[in-house]
Copies of this chain bind each other. A is one copy, B any other.
Amino acid sequence: MKTTIGNFLFLRLRQMGIGHVFGVPGDFNLQLLEQMREGDGPEFIGTCNELNAAYAADGYARMNGVGALLTTYGVGDLSALCGIAGACAEHLPVVCLSGTPPLYAMESRLRLHHSLADGNFDNVRNCLREFTAHTARLTPANAGEEIDRALLACLREKKPVFIQVPSNISYLEIDAPEEPLSPALPASDAERLESAARHIARLLARATQPVLLIDREVDRSGLAQDLTRLAHKRRIPYVALRTGKAMLNEDDPLYAGMFNGRDSVPRVRDLLQRTDCLMAFAPGFSEGSPVPTPKSPPGSARIFIQRHSLTVEGEIYEGVNARDLMERLPDLVERVNGSAEAWAAQARECADPATPAGSATEAATGTAGAVEAASAGTAPEPKALTQARLWSGLAGFFCPGDVIYAETGTALSGLADVRLPEGAKFIAQPIWGAIGHSLPALLGAMTAANDRRHILFIGDGSFQLTAQELSTILRRKLRPIIFLLNNDGYTIERWIFGKDAPYNDIAPWQYTRLPEVFAPGAQVFTATAGTGDELEEALREAGERACACFIELRLDRLDAPEILKIHGPRAAENNYGPRGPQSAHGASAGRP
- Chain A residues engaging chain B, CB cutoff 8 angstroms: 24-28, 30-31, 33-35, 37-38, 44, 46, 48-49, 51, 74-75, 78-79, 81-82, 85-86, 88-89, 101-102, 105, 110-117, 123-124, 126-127, 130-131, 167-172, 284-288, 430-436, 464-468, 471-472, 474-475, 490, 492-493, 496-498, 501-510, 513-514, 516-520, 571-572, 574-577, 579-581
Complex contact A507–B490 (CB within 8 A): no
Task: Name the distance in Å between A245's Cβ and chain B's nearest Cβ.
Answer: 15
Contact between A27 and B580, CB atoms less than 8 A apart: no
- Which B residues lie within 8 Å of A434 (CB)? 75, 79, 114
Residues of B near A46 (CB, < 8 A) are: 503, 505-506
Residues of B within 8 A of A431 (CB): 113, 115-117
Q: A89-B117, A493-B25, A580-B168 are in contact. Are A75 and B81 (CB under 8 A)?
A: no
Asked if residues A498 and B34 are in contact (CB atoms below 8 Å), the reply is yes
Min CB distance A185 to B, Å, is 20
Once the chains are docked, how many angstroms separate the CA of A503 from the CA of B33?
7
Determine the distance from Cα of A112 to Cα of B312 in the docked complex, in whole angstroms: 26
Query: Which listed residue (B171, B287, B465, B581) contacts A577, Cβ 8 A?
Result: B171
Does A117 contact B286, Cβ atoms closer than 8 Å? yes
Q: A102-B575, A506-B46, A576-B168 are in contact. Are A501 and B287 (CB under 8 A)?
A: no
Is the CB–CB distance between B130 and A490 below 8 Å?
Answer: no
Residue of B nearest to A110 (CB): B287
Q: How far is the CA of A366 from the CA of B89 in the complex (A)?
A: 54
| Closest Cβ neighbor of A36 among chain B residues | B503
- Chain B, residue nearest A70 (CB): B503
A51 to B468 alpha-carbon distance, docked (Å): 14
Task: Tell whether, in the assembled complex, residue A471 and residue B509 are in contact, meaning their CB atoms are under 8 Å apart.
Answer: yes
User: Which residues of B sit under 8 angstroms from A571, Cβ to Cβ?
Assistant: 27
- Nearest B residue to A433 by beta-carbon distance? B113
Write out the residue numbers on chain B whose beta carbons fall within 8 Å of the beta carbon of A78. Answer: 81-82, 85, 131
Copies of this protein chain in the complex: 2
Contact of A89 among B27, B116, B465, B475 (CB under 8 A): B116
CB distance from A19 to the nearest CB of B (A): 16
Whether B131 lies near A123 (C-beta < 8 A) is: yes
Contacts of A506 in B (CB 8 A): 46, 48
Residues of B within 8 A of A514 (CB): 517
| B residues near A492, Cβ cutoff 8 Å | 27
CB of A447 to closest CB in B, whole Å: 15
A575 closest partner in B (C-beta): B167
- The distance in angstroms between the C-alpha atoms of A48 and B581, with both chains bound, is 25
What B residues does A86 contact at CB under 8 A?
A: 75
Candidates B79, B111, B171; contact of A287 at CB < 8 Å: B111
List of B residues within 8 angstroms of A433 by Cβ: 75, 113-114
A465: B residues at CB distance < 8 A:
24, 48-49, 468
Chain B residues with CB under 8 Å of A504's CB are 25
B475, A471: Cβ atoms closer than 8 Å = no
18 A-B pairs whose Cβ atoms sit less than 8 Å apart in the complex: A25-B490, A25-B498, A31-B581, A33-B498, A46-B505, A48-B464, A48-B465, A49-B466, A78-B82, A88-B116, A102-B576, A110-B287, A117-B431, A126-B127, A168-B577, A509-B518, A509-B520, A517-B517
Q: In the complex, which residue of chain B has the Cβ closest to the Cβ of A125? A: B130
Question: Which 10 residue pairs spanning A and B have beta carbons closest together?
Answer: A168-B577, A123-B130, A78-B82, A75-B434, A49-B465, A171-B579, A34-B581, A167-B575, A127-B127, A79-B82
